[in-house]
Structures are given as structure tokens and as C-alpha cells.
Amino acid sequence: VLPAGVPRVAVEAGVTDGWWKYGCAAVVGIDSYGESAPAPELFKHFKLTAENLSDTVRKVLGR
């Protein structure tokens, strides 16, 4: 969907491996398992948060 040269950042609440084949500059996701807690706590633990996504996008864009 995005033309070549446009930076891509994928967000996946699971394994990130599959996203790299799409030319993503970064993938925010969860690559380890074994934790048990309410979803909001797990998202914070695995850094799957709006703040981390924002920081990642800024890094990709060089800002």
C-alpha cells in the first residue's frame, strides 16, 4: 500500500518476525512469552504502549 521509500513501522500484539519481510524500519510487538496478568499490565511490561510506539516512530523519522 505504501510506496517504496516510505518508512514503515508495524505494531503487533504478538510475534514480530513476520513483519520484517515487508521492509519495516521498526516493529513494536511482543517476542517473549510466559507472563500472566491483565492485558493493560502486560502491554506496559512488554512496552506495547502509545508512548513506546511514538518514540519508535520518532526514531525512524529521525526526529
DSSP the chain: -PPTT---EEEESS--GGGGGGT-SEEEE-------S-HHHHHHHTT-SHHHHHHHHHHHHT-
Q: Give the C-alpha distances (Å, rounded to integers) separating 9 from 35, 36, 38, 47, 48.
A: 25, 27, 26, 15, 13
Answer yes or no: pTM beyond 0.75.
yes
pLDDT class for 55, splitting at 50, 70, 90? very high
1-30: pLDDT as tens digits? 788 889 999 999 889 999 999 999 999 999
Map out the domains of the chain as residue ranges. 9-61
Query: Mean pLDDT across the stretch 35-49?
Result: 93
pLDDT of residue 63: 83
Contacts of residue 63, defined as CB under 8 A and 6 or more positions apart, other chains included, come to none
Architecture of domain 9-61: 3-Layer(aba) Sandwich (3.40)
